[in-house]
Amino acid sequence: MPWPDIAPPTDRTSAGWHVPGLGMAIAILALGWSAATWTGTGVWADRHLQHMMDREKNAAAADAEAISVNIDFQLNQFRSIPTVMSREPFLMSMMVEDWPKSKVRTLPRDERNAAWRADPELGGLARRLADIVRDLGLSAILLLDDAGNCIAEGNEAALPNFTGANYADREYFIAARNGHNGRQVTVGRVTDTMSIVYTSPIMVDQRFVGAIGVRIALQSLYPLVIEDRAFVTDANGVVILARDPDLLMRALPGAAVFDLSLESRTKLYKKTVFETLDFRPLGGHGVADSLVRFGAKGDVHVIAAKAISDGTLTVHVLRETAAATAIGQERFWWFISSTLVGWLVLSIVILGLHIIRSNRRHYRALADLARTDPLTGCANRRHLYEALAAERQRGLRYAVPFSLISMDLDHFKGVNDQYGHPGGDAVLRHVVAVVGNSLRPTDSLGRMGGEEFAVLLTQTTDREAAGIAERIRADVEASPTAFNGRMIPVTVSAGVAQWRAGTAEAVEDFVSRCDAELYKAKKSGRNTVSVQSP
């Protein structure tokens, strides 16, 4: 702390204020104050960081829980299919006949493929399995004999056939051969795509005669991973699903995949070398288990993980935070300010900063309140109408097309009646998050009131808008809301219209046309999109 230079009087006997060793006392006070300030700001920084990290960790854990519940809900629809099909009498009787054990099994794979696909009975079965695949939204169904050979299959039209391929070394077949239901995440032997396979044994008179399995392409679960910094790993710690494509097929530090032999890695993933995710634990703050530095810049992230019920997949969510760096810098400057200026000046500075920051927060809060829906966080009706008016002016000047989607949650009153308004609020927030992930940065989502929403699509024709609306409808349908341990399914109906360029059409008339299309979608059965050409 600076002190004024005071020259001692020539008559020291009359200068009662002069105290020998004053400089030493000032130095001791300055050093003592500096040490106290450094210690105090350190304690504050640690506690503040702990509080902020706990809050971020809870938010990341909630996101991971929601994504894992949605994935589990989706996979639960497929897990029981092999069990039901394995008890089909027609299938059981077919598997004990002589042809599955004929000399065909000794032929090379391509010849086995041709022979089994040419068999009338197996060909008919393959067509039945293909129908089931299309009806249930699967990637494939495989019928395996007791040696692990695929003797019949049904799959998506775009996939190659698996008939004749041998899967005796797969964990899902080994489990079935031992009389248990099997499951495994692996790269397809024929398709080269990452999938999860569920199998059940076919038993006749307590004797294993084959297995039936369903294959689900993991890419079909992509819409459920709604967080940008979320990814999914398999039981070996390999990233097999992620919003960020740079994370795919990388491994967690210390993952089980590094303990596998090169042969096992090749069989499972068709590769042997895995780049490790750049996670560096950030210790020293009591949150080292959830606080890491991630990426080339070393930004601080909170990480949370949640496994699905059968343990085959684990959801990880990263939440970026600059808290550690910001708090460390703030502590340093507080220490410097406190040491140089002292309690009085420091109090004035802190008070002034507090007033300024409070005013800024107040003004920002007022601005946000005027433009944002407080429940969902998206734009409110007033803000969206302002955006429509601005886009209309741009359209009049430059003849740029733009479109509007009017959306309404189907049977939302029933949601409120069954789950109460907290459940309805959770559904609205979740739908806004899902829709937001389906939009481009230039699009605007607004809540028009109740369960009604609208999306302004800049530089977009009605045909392009129809595609976006259909993607939104499908994403919402595929992503039920997790609430109090239950899943709330919900769908949306949408109407699409393009602004009539060259007519100076008013915003209100444009919105009315779009609402009319929404009414058509609702009237035609809901969960659909109706489009009006300009």
Token reading at 82: 């092999």
CA distances for 6 relative to 3, 9, 14, 17, 22, angstroms? 9, 9, 15, 11, 11
Looking at the chain, which residues constitute the CATH 3.30.70.270 domain(s)? 379-532
Please report where in the chains the tokens 């994504």 appear, as a residue.
Answer: 67
Q: What is the pLDDT of residue 345?
A: 46
- What is the model's pLDDT at position 330? 67
Cα(287)–Cα(283) distance, integer angstroms: 7
Q: Rounded distance, CA 133 to CA 154, Å?
A: 7
Residue 112 near residue 167 (C-beta atoms within 8 A): no
Q: How confident is the model at residue 399 (pLDDT cuts 50, 70, 90)?
A: confident
Whole-number percent of the chain with pLDDT over 90: 41
Angle, CA 159 vertex, CA 155 and CA 164 arms, to 5°: 75
% of the chain exceeding 70 in pLDDT? 81
Three-state secondary-structure class, residue 294? strand
Q: How many CA atoms lie within 13 A of 467 on its CB side?
A: 5
**DSSP type of residue 192:** -
Helix%, strand%, coil% for the chain, nearest 5: 50, 20, 30
Phi, psi at residue 505, to the nearest 5°? -60, 135
CA separation for the pair 334, 38 (Å, rounded): 9
Backbone phi and psi for residue 480, each to the nearest 5 degrees, phi listed first:
-65, 160
Q: Which of 300, 330, 42, 79 is nearest to 182 (CA)?
A: 79
Q: Which pLDDT does position 286 carry in this prediction?
A: 40
Ramachandran area for residue 313 (φ above 0: left; ψ -120 to 50: alpha; else beta)? beta
Q: Which of 242-256, 358-372, 482-496 has the highest mean pLDDT?
A: 482-496
User: Could you give the strand order of the β-sheet that contains 492-498, starting from the edge strand earlier in sequence?
Assistant: 379-380, 444-449, 452-458, 402-409, 492-498, 529-532
CATH code of domain 379-532: 3.30.70.270
Contact 80, 88 (CB under 8 A): no
313-320: strand order across its sheet: 239-242, 230-234, 313-320, 299-307, 291-294, 279-281
Phi (first) and psi of residue 485, to 5 degrees:
80, 5
Q: State residue 285's pLDDT score.
A: 43
At 358 the pLDDT is: 67
Structural element, H or E, at residue 530: strand 529-532
* 346 pLDDT above the threshold of 50: no
- Beta-bridged to residue 217, according to DSSP, are 195
Architecture of domain 80-213: 2-Layer Sandwich (3.30)
- According to the per-residue pLDDT averaged within each range, which of 15-29, 114-128, 491-505, 513-527 is highest? 513-527
What is the token pair recorded at 145? 């004999």
Q: Do 85 and 181 meet the contact criterion of CB atoms below 8 Å apart?
A: no
Over range 193-205, report the average pLDDT: 92
Q: Is the pLDDT of residue 261 over 80?
A: yes
Give the closest residue to 162 by CA, choosing from 109, 200, 125, 218. Answer: 109
SS3 201: strand
What six digits make up the tokens of 396? 């009049």
Average pLDDT, the chain: 83
pLDDT at 13 (0 to 100): 45
pLDDT (average), residues 13-23: 54
DSSP string spanning 454-509? EEEEET--HHHHHHHHHHHHHHHHT-PEEETTEEE---EEEEEEE--TTTT--HHH
Q: Is the pLDDT of residue 493 over 70?
A: yes
Mean pLDDT, to the nearest integer, of 334-349? 59
Q: Residue 3: pLDDT band by 50, 70, 90 thresholds?
A: very low
Place of tokens 């995949």: 257
User: What would the mean pLDDT of 416-439 be, rounded to a whole number?
Assistant: 94
Total number of residues shown for the chain: 534
Cα distance between the two ends of the chain: 73
pTM of the model: 0.52
Look at the block and give the residue holding tokens 């045909």. 463
pLDDT of 49 reads: 67
Under the banding of pLDDT at 50, 70 and 90, the label for residue 515 is very high
Across 93-97, 154-158, 297-301, least confident range:
297-301
Residue 307 has which token pair? 């496994």
User: Would the pLDDT of 329 be above 90?
Assistant: no
Please report the pLDDT score of residue 344 as a whole number. Answer: 53
Q: Where in the chain is the domain with CATH 3.30.450.20?
A: 80-213
Say whether pLDDT at 478 is over 80: yes
pLDDT surpassing 70 at residue 10: no
Residue with the bigger pLDDT between 12 and 515: it is: 515
Which of 422, 502, 419, 409 is closest to 451 using CA atoms?
A: 409
pLDDT tens figures, 276-296: 888 776 654 443 456 777 766
Question: What band does 451 get if pLDDT is binned at 50, 70 and 90?
Answer: very high
Q: Is the pLDDT of residue 297 over 90?
A: no
- Around Cβ 4, how many Cβ atoms within 10 Å? 4
Buried b (16+ CB within 10 A) or exposed e, 454-478: bbbbbebebeebbebbeebbbbbbb
